[in-house]
Amino acid sequence: MIQRSVIMSIAKTHLLSKLKQTIIAALGVTFGIGSYITLVSFMTGLNNMLDDLILNQTPHIHIYNEIQPSKQQPVDIYEALSGSLNMVRSIKPKQTQKKIHNAQPLIDLLEKDPRVRGALPQVKTQIFYIAGPIDLGGNLTGVNILQEAELSNLGDYIVEGSPQDLENTANAIILGSGVAEKMSLEIGERVQVNTVQGELFPLKVVGIYQSGISDIDNIQSYTNLKTAQKILGQPENYITDINVKLYDTDDAVGLAKKIEEQYGLRAVDVQTANAQFETGNTVRNLISYSVSVTLLLVAGFGIYNILNMLIYEKMNDIAILKATGFTGRDVQWVFMSQALIIGIIGGVTGLLVGYLLSVVISNTPFETEALPTIETYPVNFDPWFYIIGISFAIVATFLAGYLPSKRAKKIDPVRIINRL
């Protein structure tokens, strides 16, 4: 049987009598846990920001009609030649329409799929922007702006004006920031767009779009789906792309494959489109975790050292306790409790320090042209980091205390008493 109160009062007296060492040991843990929390929160915050920057602009599945040569040439189908080696040289794709055939029924079908959050129709086309004497090449995308704002983060990147303005204004356009700058256009002014077919079409600038990626901002603009169809002289069922948003991006690969097989369209999932990006993410996570684990290991060794020293100093105490009827387990618990007290106190202050540092970082201004939506450094305040942090502190101090305390348990009081 263990009398916890006696054990605790001995442990407490030991710790208080060596207050400096105790504080240093606890600070080791505080430092380890604090830096773990700060590092992981900041790292994952940055990672999430980069995710948002790149991934949110890529749909989970992008469906479109790709111009490509037919995979099967007539000669392959002809039965009489099926056994022979048929060679067709210089195959060229034939001119097909860019529009997705029967797009609306496909969208309706996708929307019914429980994995799909939304399927967004788009009309993409190349145009020239014309304002005064300047003409610039670019891309114009017709979208259902309110739906886009809700399901993708498009709304976040409209730095001036709002999605509502585009919805409510006839023949309006949201210009890419690069385009607007080059042509000195501001909200309320007019820009003319020239289609590949040669039609000229005046549009009113109601917003500025800035993704943070200048290659995009220099060419990309948005308008309403209907306006885009009108500019191209196409009917309302003219849709060139469908962007699918899913609840879980892990479903993207399977669904994309199914769409390709079933409808003969090109469907690119987000994983394929951003394979290198994912690798970068993994590597960054790996770095932040290995740094954190190193810090915690160092803290653990600090505790191990200090307990070892303490046990050397307290040999006599251990012998007396054992001589007066304390069991080996009691003595072990005296030192285990000390390790755990150090771990818990150091861990909790570590969480506080980590939290405070994270708050400071998250309030530090971080303004960059490339990231219009970000004003301060991004920090991820995931409660899981705190749970992991305190658990690690306790587990590490437990392990660091275990070996020295086991030694204390085994100390033979007769040898200690005889030695003096």
Which residues contact another protein (rule: CB under 8 A)? 1, 3, 5-6, 9-10, 13-14, 16-17, 316-317, 319-330, 413-414, 417-418, 420
- Cα separation of 171 and 166, whole Å? 8
- Compute the least distance from the CB of residue 331 to another protein, in Å: 10
Nearer to another protein (CB atom), residue 39 or residue 321: 321
Q: Which residues contact 154 (CB under 8 A, 6 or more apart)?
A: 143, 145, 148, 163, 209, 222
Nearer to another protein (CB atom), residue 290 or residue 316: 316
Q: Provide the pairing of β-strand 220-224 with 158-160.
A: unpaired
End-to-end CA gap in the chain: 31
Nearer to another protein (CB atom), residue 14 or residue 245: 14
For CA atoms 84, 90, 96, 100, the dihedral sign is positive
- Compute the least distance from the CB of residue 21 to another protein, in Å: 13
- Compute the least distance from the CB of residue 327 to another protein, in Å: 4
Task: Using DSSP, state whether 198 is helix, strand or coil.
Answer: coil
- Cα separation of 387 and 392, whole Å? 8
Nearer to another protein (CB atom), residue 5 or residue 368: 5
Nearer to another protein (CB atom), residue 101 or residue 329: 329
- Compute the least distance from the CB of residue 328 to another protein, in Å: 6
Nearer to another protein (CB atom), residue 360 or residue 414: 414
Nearer to another protein (CB atom), residue 63 or residue 318: 318
Cβ atoms of 255 and 244 within 8 Å: the answer is: yes
- Compute the least distance from the CB of residue 312 to another protein, in Å: 15
Give the phi and the psi of residue 152 in degrees, each rounded to 5.
-110, 175
- Compute the least distance from the CB of residue 14 to another protein, in Å: 7
Task: Give me the DSSP letters along 84-139.
Answer: S-----S-------SSPTTHHHHHHHHHHSTTEEEEEEEEEEEEEEEETTEEEEEE
- Compute the least distance from the CB of residue 8 to another protein, in Å: 11
